[in-house]
Amino acid sequence: MTKLSVNINKVATIRNARGGNNPDVLKVALDCEAFGAQGITVHPRPDERHIRYQDVRNIRPRVKTEFNIEGNPIDKYIELVLEVKPTQVTLVPDSDNQITSNHGWDTKKNINFLTDVIGRFKEAGIRTSIFVDPDVEMVDYAKKCGTDRIELYTEPYASEYIKNRDSAIAPFIEAAKEAKKLGLGLNAGHDLSLVNLGYFYQQIPWIDEVSIGHALICDALYMGLKDTIQKYLDCLK
């Protein structure tokens, strides 16, 4: 079964815009679980412009499903992950000033760095995933880094889906097949939505987890969080 992990960064963005604690990020995380989500994802950035490091500390002991922390493995981030010990850590090559993630790792170029970081997390008993573009060579080198899983960066698929969904999905199928052949777990995320998620899942049904935030929270403004989560889960049946 493919799990749905809800990224709650956008909820924190709304809270931070006004100050205070409305909406309550922790409550939203617990509500997502209650409404059927099988995981919660957060992506703290160095400037804490949405999810704060303290949010991660507050959420971790309360989440009963899988807890996934995404981020660029700078020292501060590594220390946080080792402190709270999530179910999964997803390594993303963000620069400090990026609005959102926009590419995967060059796992060949960064093999030594990634191998070291992954080794530290795995020694602590934390499942690891590397954010990669749909490139077979990058998948191969991710395996050499010692990661448990990869997460396919799906923005290119989402962007091209309306124009030609078959050509949009093609490189992702090849990358996913390579991951399967190598024995790597498979996640996916970025710009997946109710428009394109069902087809992605139909073509790559062995995917372990999708992480969805922006589109899901936008949909929830119209449909409500409970019904929205159910609609995303329906795409994964």
pLDDT tens by residue, 16-57: 999 899 999 999 999 999 999 999 999 998 888 899 999 999
Q: Does 43 participate in catalysis according to the annotation? A: yes
Among 76, 195, 91, which Cα is nearest to 148's?
91
Structure tokens at 129: 């995933």
> Which member of 33, 66, 70, 151 is catalytic?
70
Mean pLDDT of 139-147: 98
Report yes or no on 169 lying in a domain. Answer: yes
> Which member of 43, 50, 66, 209 is catalytic?
43
Q: Is the pLDDT assigned to residue 91 strictly greater than 90? A: yes
Report yes or no on 94 lying in a domain. Answer: yes
Report yes or no on 32 lying in a domain. Answer: no
Check the CA dihedral 134-135-137-141 and report its sign. negative
Residue 4 φ then ψ, to 5°? -105, 115
Mean pLDDT of 73-94: 95
Q: What pLDDT score does 94 carry?
A: 72
Torsion of CA 148, 111, 79, 124, to 10 degrees: 40
> Which member of 33, 66, 178, 190 is catalytic?
190
Report yes or no on 115 lying in a domain. Answer: yes
Report yes or no on 164 lying in a domain. Answer: yes
Overall number of domains in the chain: 1
pLDDT digits over 146-203, tens only?
A: 999 999 999 999 999 999 999 999 999 999 999 999 999 999 999 999 999 999 999 9
CA 223 to chain centre: 23
State percent of the chain over pLDDT 90. 92
Q: How far apart are the first and last CA of the chain?
A: 8
- Looking up residue 201, the CATH number of its domain turns out to be 3.20.20.70
**Where in the sequence is the domain holding 56, given as residue range(s)?**
43-207
Over the chain, what is the mean pLDDT? 95
Which residues face 39 on adjacent strands? 5, 66
Q: What pLDDT score does 121 carry?
A: 98
Q: Is the pLDDT assigned to residue 100 strictly greater than 80? A: no
State percent of the chain over pLDDT 70. 96
Report yes or no on 215 lying in a domain. Answer: no
Report yes or no on 235 lying in a domain. Answer: no
Structure tokens at 59: 């959420």
Q: Is the pLDDT assigned to residue 101 strictly greater than 70? A: no
CA 56 to chain centre: 15
pTM equals 0.94
Q: What pLDDT score does 69 carry?
A: 98
Report yes or no on 181 lying in a domain. Answer: yes
Residue 98 — very low, low, confident or very high, per pLDDT cuts 50/70/90?
low
User: For residues 110 and 70, is the Cβ–Cβ distance under 8 A?
Assistant: no
